[in-house]
Amino acid sequence: MRKILVLISGSGSNLQALIDACEDGRIPDASIVHVVSDRKEAYGLKRAEAKNIATTRHGILPYKKRHPDDSPAPTFEAARQAYDADLAGIVLAQNPDIVVCAGFMRIVTTSFLDPLQKAALPIINLHPSLHGDLIGANCIERAWDEFNAGKRKETGVMVHFVIKDVDMGEPILQKEVDMTGCKTLEELQDRIHRTEHGLIVDGTRLVLERGRAPQQQP
Interface characters, 36-55, with ligand GRF (x: CB under 6 A): --------x-----------
Those residues with Cβ within 8 angstroms of residue 114's Cβ, 6 or more apart along the chain or in another chain: 88, 218
Taking CB under 6 A as the binding criterion, the range among 4-12, 30-38, 47-55, 161-169 that sits at the site for ligand GRF is 4-12
User: Catalytic residue among 34, 58, 127, 197, which?
Assistant: 127
Buried b (16+ CB within 10 A) or exposed e, 112-134: bbebbbeeebbbbbbbbbbeebb
Rounded Cα distance between 101 and 161, Å, is 10
**Three-state secondary-structure class, residue 174:** strand
Q: Does 203 bind ligand GRF (CB under 6 A)?
A: no
Between the two ends of the chain, the Cα-to-Cα distance in Å is 28
Taking CB under 6 A as the binding criterion, the range among 56-64, 114-122, 125-133, 177-185 that sits at the site for ligand GRF is 125-133
Q: Does 126 bind ligand GRF (CB under 6 A)?
A: yes
Rounded Cα distance between 212 and 218, Å, is 16
Query: What is the C-alpha R_g of the chain?
Result: 17
Per CB under 6 A, the list member of 2, 6, 10, 203 interacting with ligand GRF is: 10
Taking CB under 6 A as the binding criterion, the range among 55-63, 82-90, 121-129, 172-180 that sits at the site for ligand GRF is 121-129
Those residues with Cβ within 8 angstroms of residue 14's Cβ, 6 or more apart along the chain or in another chain: 102, 103, 126, 196, 197, 200
Q: Does 11 bind ligand GRF (CB under 6 A)?
A: yes
Per CB under 6 A, the list member of 45, 102, 134, 177 interacting with ligand GRF is: 102
Per CB under 6 A, the list member of 30, 35, 103, 144 interacting with ligand GRF is: 103
127 classed as catalytic: yes
Per CB under 6 A, the list member of 5, 6, 13, 188 interacting with ligand GRF is: 13
